[in-house]
Structure 1
Amino acid sequence: MNDMKIPAAGAGRKVDPVTFEVLRNVFNYACERMTSVLQRSSFSPILADMLDFSNAVYTADLKLVAQAANCPVHLAAMAFSAEAAVEEIGYENLNEGDVLVLNDPYRGGTHINDITFVMPIFHEAELMGFAVSRGHWMDLGGGAAGGQAFSGTHIAGEGLRIPPMKIYERGVVNKGLLSLIINNTRTPHFVRGDLQAHVGALRAAELEFHRAAKRYGIDTVKSAMQDLIAYTERIVRKSIDAIPDGVYEAFDYADTDGISGKPVRLQVRVEVSGSNITVDFEGTDPICAGAINSPFANTSSAVYYSLQFFLAPSAPANAGMFNPISIRLPDNCWLNAKWPAPTIGCTTLTSSKITSAIWQALGKAIPNRITASTCSDSNWFVASVKDQNGLVDVFSDLPAGGWGGTPYDDGMSVTMDPLGNCMNMPAETAELLFPIRYESFELRRDSAGAGRNRGGLGAVFKVRFLGDGELSMETSRTIEGSPGANGGTRSAVQRGTKIGPDGKTEVIGGLDENGQWKNPLLSAHKFAPGETFMFETTGGGGWGNPLTRSVERVLNDVKDDYISVESAKAHYGVVIDASSMTVDEAATARLRQAAVG
């Protein structure tokens, strides 16, 4: 943005505390209204039901002012897309009623399916700020449904890559660009409705800004934006001051990039100095051939939200959260993707590994505050499905896993990874719209890491195809589960299985019963009518030594079928009679004493 003509951010007017608080809530409400409009009016279930979208408002110089509690991996990255769009179009070419669009992963984007809409907000011909809405669109082409061409090695195989353009100019839709998008998707029936939903969301924010400007004046509104950002920065810096200065290192990895079959390493060094944090990824593996590379904006977003969990999660969410944080990325690493590296798995797989590594590093700085790693994947799958009339549609879901144990309690079960604040697809919606049947979505016993506070449980998810299908999926944690914290153990591994109509099973991703590992990054894996896809998600890592978990809590977990009798003995040193559901206290005492000895 160095060459852009950037409008003044604010007039420097003093905003009294009452007006400041009123406008702070106006900014938040604008984002909440955006969310309500987008969810209620969108056509595709991934937006309307799964809530895979984000909304935010920005100052005239593109600093985040407020955001809705939407998808974390979108929210910080959206500013990069807004900057790229305005830089390309130019401030001087922005008009009231314009809406800019882009989804280029290398220009502030994440993966191609995340499409961003940017609208300038004018009041009496003066630019007040911007409304930005990003949503995951079901399909924008590519070599497999949802762009999940994990067998490919070029971004072109993942779908239509849109540079910054005007999709609306002075309120009039660009019919040529809209036709181009419709011609490059497997789900054209969703496109017009979803576009209108995003534009409706943007206009909802515009309306709230107009109301505020009419009541308080544009200079007061602009000044309140700057005051709000500065307020959040003070809170965040105070929380960083409470972390001991030092350098804290950790690593994590993706099981594979889908091409090499070898793990892809992520190395992180968190440096705390006063009220500043630097996150350095020196030592991370280079750009890989497969489609898990993360663009700079996506990596930055993952860093920011990973840290905010333990800095100032209750502070107003705006650019002040980011100012104390610096990021160092080697130029040629898989967390700093450059054209033509494929990126389709960057949000759902890679972001979660960044979070896990950062939390492990922070565990060395604030061990009594840290949470063990979550399932660390969103397990995103997409399937093209054919109905009895031969029509093909695209179905998607996000089978959630468990969060890690905390210093205070067990982890949450079957909860979306921190990268997204999304929902799983409701079975009723899926069965109504697509030729499939849900067979189960239930807690998975023994999936959580053991600990004084165990991880939350994962799930067993089964969906049966009623017609021909092709399933693509990204996942990981198939070699070993998510790590624990402060002596807690890892969770179980994840696994994808095909089940035939006769009940015969075949592991298609992860470790089979013979210990043979299969690549879990699936691309257009064929399913015949009557075949079932089963995915077993993992839980979160455990927190603290499992032998310090009370015998009563272990017994209750067995009674609730969260852990097996065998697991109670092996991990917690608690011997339980399965027939009577009672604890053999003498045997338990001997076993725990021997383990301590």
Structure 2
Amino acid sequence: MSYKIELFHSLLNNFLKGEEALLTIEGDVLAVRGKQPATYGTLSAAANIVGKYLKLQEGDIAVLNDPYSGGTTLDEMTFIMAVSEDLLWVSRRPMVKSIKTGKSVEEEGLRIPPTPLRQSGKVNDVILSAMQAHPACPPNFTEWIKEQFAQMIEHAYRLIHTVETTGFEITGELIEEYLDLSKNLATHRISENASGDARVDIVLDSGELLRLSLEIHEGRIKMDFGGTSAAKTIQLTESAAYGTCFHTISKYYGFTDYANSGTFSSLTVTKPSGCWLMAKYPASIVKGMNSGIAALQAAIELALTHIHSKKEKALSCYSPLTVQFNANSSQAVLRLQGGEGAFANRDGASAHLENISIERIERELPVKIVRADRRQSLGGKGKFSGGRGLIFKVEALADVETTWLSDLTLHRPRIPKNCSHGDPCEVILDSNGSTKVLPVLGTQKVLKGDVLTLCSGSGGGFGKPETPA
């Protein structure tokens, strides 16, 4: 790797923070960074749509949250900024997190198509005020948008200043060399493992079938979802589905840090028209962005495990348990991740209590967190155990409206013989001396004195448990 390529790669890593991407105005993806799988397909889709229809000038910023224009859920805003006459920067930032499902995306909140809000150095206050006036618009939306603009302008200035002061030139030749190197890296890392094919079926709790035929040959991966069913309640946009596919394989083979047009070329994804991976407006998206993505990750991991028997591992719990509490005008959302599947030589990693402030929840809502810990798992046993999920016990000090969402609990896919399934997510209500297991998707008023137990899933176990001597 040449000095210029190393410097360019370092420049991209230093500039992109969170869920972000940098593209050329012609549409070449230079880099995508982020923790969310959908990011790796949706951000470039958003940039391409904005680049095609809005023709941003340097310093202009457009916004969107429309899932059918490269967004994800309506509580996350995507910003597209022309940082120069040649480069587009895409940044996705969460607003007030919420779980709001409906029969259509229009019932899930305020949907914003690609809209130029900053042009020629000025914010379009007329459009911004119209958005703020919408009944589904979050409070303080105008102030929040302007804060994001200020942060982006400052960050973009640093990038341009760094390039200018170092004399570093981002030329077409440099970009071409970088993308070729990235492509070759992905091809090498895929081809140094076994080739082969596998088919996996995953059935979601709502009855949708996900059928994946995965083929690996000469450093390229083909995913064919022929046989995947039409939607019942789960829908996922095409860009989010592709992003999840790419993120899962790039993480498996270790080239996520080189997510760009070069490495994208190592993956081909085909889907039948009308299946739930090809959502069309105005289909509801929230469930798909949670359960649909989890099903895709599970299917791809299983297929790779079947092909790469020497790297066999147990299935991780990809479906988080997302819970929203509402009382009066206060709201809090918990997202409890599941445990990792065990490997042939070690236990799976347990879930962590990340970004969860118990103090804030208890301060803002009439609840008491009785327990916050890793759950004791009944499943996921073996020579090496699956990572443990989380358990939250929440006592209501007054009536609290609760909404939760999870999946992949009713139908267990076929797994390798020397692996075991982990525990699924669970929601349990203790009320007036009785205990009730609730469905994995629902809304419930938790009455004063009731205790709601929330358990995220555990990872699967690997190998037979060792018998004590």
What is the TM-score normalised by the length of structure 2? 0.92
Number of residue-to-residue matches in the alignment: 469
The residue matched to 2:258 in structure 1 has which SS? coil
Please report how far the alpha carbon of residue 455 of structure 1 lies from its aligned counterpart in structure 2 after TM superposition: 0.8
CA distance change for structure 1 residues 166 and 405 in 2, over 3 Å: closer, same or farther?
same
Aligned 8 A contact 1:115 1:137 in 2: yes
Amino acid at match of 2:160: H
Write out per-residue CA displacement over residues 16-65 of structure 1, whole angstroms, 9 at most, x where no aligned residue.
92232222211110113xx4xxxxxxxxxxxxxxxxxx122222223332
Separation of aligned partners in 2, 1:371 and 1:204? 45
Separation of aligned partners in 2, 1:311 and 1:185? 45
The residue matched to 2:296 in structure 1 has which SS? helix
Amino acid at match of 1:55: E
Comparing 340-349 and 294-303, the one that deviates more: 340-349
Please report how far the alpha carbon of residue 197 of structure 1 lies from its aligned counterpart in structure 2 after TM superposition: 4.5
Aligned to 2:117: 167
Match of 2:244 among 302, 309, 320: 302
Aligned 8 A contact 1:448 1:456 in 2: no
Aligned to 1:358: 300
Residue 506 (str. 1) matches residue 436 (str. 2): yes
Aligned 8 A contact 2:322 2:335 in 1: yes
Separation of aligned partners in 2, 1:265 and 1:155? 22
Aligned 8 A contact 1:235 1:312 in 2: no
Comparing 355-364 and 154-163, the one that deviates more: 154-163
Residue 521 (str. 1) matches residue 441 (str. 2): yes
Alignment of 1:62-461 (within 5 A): 62-89=27-54, 91=55, 94-122=56-84, 127-138=85-96, 146-149=98-101, 152-184=102-134, 188-189=138-139, 191-215=141-165, 219-256=169-206, 263-288=207-232, 290=233, 292-313=234-255, 315-386=257-328, 392-415=329-352, 423-461=354-392
Cα RMSD (Å)? 2.5
Residue 494 (str. 1) matches residue 425 (str. 2): yes
Residue 541 (str. 1) matches residue 453 (str. 2): no
Percent identity of equivalent pairs: 22
Aligned to 1:462: 393
Aligned 8 A contact 1:448 1:538 in 2: no
Please report how far the alpha carbon of residue 299 of structure 1 lies from its aligned counterpart in structure 2 after TM superposition: 0.4
Aligned 8 A contact 1:404 1:484 in 2: no
If you compute each CA radius of gyration, which structure gives the higher value, 1 or 2? 1
Please report how far the alpha carbon of residue 218 of structure 1 lies from its aligned counterpart in structure 2 after TM superposition: 7.2
Separation of aligned partners in 2, 1:269 and 1:455? 26
The residue matched to 1:449 in structure 2 has which SS? coil
Separation of aligned partners in 1, 2:419 and 2:352? 20
CA distance change for structure 1 residues 204 and 59 in 2, over 3 Å: closer, same or farther?
farther
Separation of aligned partners in 2, 1:220 and 1:107? 28
Aligned to 1:21: 6
CA distance change for structure 1 residues 407 and 364 in 2, over 3 Å: closer, same or farther?
same
Please report how far the alpha carbon of residue 341 of structure 1 lies from its aligned counterpart in structure 2 after TM superposition: 1.6
Separation of aligned partners in 2, 1:63 and 1:529? 55
What is the TM-score normalised by the length of structure 1? 0.73
Write out per-residue CA displacement over residues 48-93 of structure 1, whole angstroms, 9 at most, x where no aligned residue.
xxxxxx122222223332344433332332111111222221x2xx
Please report how far the alpha carbon of residue 279 of structure 1 lies from its aligned counterpart in structure 2 after TM superposition: 0.6
More strand by share: 2
CA distance change for structure 1 residues 359 and 65 in 2, over 3 Å: closer, same or farther?
same
The residue matched to 1:363 in structure 2 has which SS? helix
Aligned 8 A contact 1:109 1:297 in 2: no
The residue matched to 1:309 in structure 2 has which SS? helix
Write out per-residue CA displacement over residues 492-538 of structure 1, whole angstroms, 9 at most, x where no aligned residue.
232212233x55432222xxxxxxxxxx211x422233433211221
Aligned 8 A contact 1:404 1:541 in 2: yes
CA distance change for structure 1 residues 83 and 465 in 2, over 3 Å: closer, same or farther?
farther
Write out per-residue CA displacement over residues 183-226 of structure 1, whole angstroms, 9 at most, x where no aligned residue.
44668345345424432443344123312431355753554333
Separation of aligned partners in 2, 1:30 and 1:174? 27
Amino acid at match of 2:334: D
The residue matched to 1:463 in structure 2 has which SS? strand
Separation of aligned partners in 2, 1:449 and 1:214? 54
Please report how far the alpha carbon of residue 372 of structure 1 lies from its aligned counterpart in structure 2 after TM superposition: 2.3
Aligned 8 A contact 2:295 2:408 in 1: no
CA distance change for structure 1 residues 178 and 315 in 2, over 3 Å: closer, same or farther?
closer
Aligned to 1:9: none
Separation of aligned partners in 1, 2:117 and 2:399? 36
The residue matched to 1:199 in structure 2 has which SS? helix
Aligned to 2:451: 532
Please report how far the alpha carbon of residue 481 of structure 1 lies from its aligned counterpart in structure 2 after TM superposition: 5.9
Aligned to 1:580: none
